[in-house]
Amino acid sequence: MNYIKFSAVKIVVSGRVQGVGFRYFIAQRANELELNGYTKNLLTEM
C-alpha cells in the first residue's frame, strides 16, 4: 500500500511587502516548487 505524506506550514509576512506584484511573485515561486496554497491580506497586524 502506498501512503502520501502531507504537511502544512503557515507563513506570515509583515511589513510593507504586499505591494504591487507581491502575490504574483509568491504564486510564481510556489508554482516552481509545486506547492499549493493561497495568499491574503490581513486587516490587522500580527
DSSP-assigned letter for residue 45:
-
Q: Which residue among 2, 16, 36, 41 is the active-site one?
A: 41
Q: Please confirm, yes or no, whether 2 is among the known catalytic residues.
A: no
23 in catalytic set = yes
In the structure grid, which three cell numbers stand for residue 28, read together? 510564481
Query: Which residue of the set 16, 23, 29, 36 is catalytic?
Result: 23
CA-based Rg of the chain, rounded to a whole angstrom? 14
Q: Hunting for cell 505524506 — which residue is that?
A: 5
Active-site residue set:
23, 41
